[in-house]
Amino acid sequence: MGSVKEEYQEFLHQMGEEAFLYPYRDACRRMEQKLEKINRDYSEKLGRTFISQITYRIKTPESCLNKIVKKKYPVNRNTAREYLGDIAGMRVICNFLDDIYKLAEIIKADKELKVVKTKDYVKRPKASGYQSLHMIVVIPSLAGEGRKIEIQIRTQAMNFWAVVEHHFVYKKGGYEKNGFEKDLKECARTIYKIDKKMLLIRKKMETAKKNENF
């Protein structure tokens, strides 16, 4: 029986193999193509940008190992594939709050996709103040059976907050120790108010434009 260290090293090796990674990259590229088409169609339909940014990443083997150990799952590749919904992750940035939910509806209606979980951190933010709509979606892969992708949909303002919080707080070991928790939560609340205000302004402008053309 091998040591825990050997078990971890074998896991890292397996997770880094191209045969394991390729289906996830392929799934991300296919989902990206879908989102780009959605953006083209709806941007033309709405007369404004629907999606402002699409990015994706594949979780590192080390990050997968840390998560599996933290959750006390068996350390093997099959466990990772079954229980980790964010090995492949996509971030989709919209300009307005209602676009988040419109995009979620479009994704749910796509018969090629299977939505297995949705978490709404926009209506119910995390304790830290984090806001985003998370969807775990299974998309068919050319390399075989489908793979899960975690799609995070948020506004540009929400993304700014999340990027700063992730870099300066999450990666550095927590904000409670540094006394930044209150400030970050206050900023998150302000960002939500700004997003709602910007949505209201957009709707007023759209109404004014319709009245002009009437």
At residue 6, what is the residue type? Answer: E
Structure tokens at 152: 């995070």
Q: Which two tokens stand for residue 53?
A: 């940014």
Of 7, 18, 150, 165, which residue is the catalytic one? 150
The answer to whether residue 150 is catalytic is yes
Indicate the pairing of strand 88-94 with strand 51-58.
Answer: antiparallel
Question: Residue 102 corresponds to which tokens in the numbers above?
Answer: 């419109």
In angstroms, the Cα distances linking 197 to 43, 78, 157, 203 are 21, 46, 12, 10
- Catalytically active residues are 150
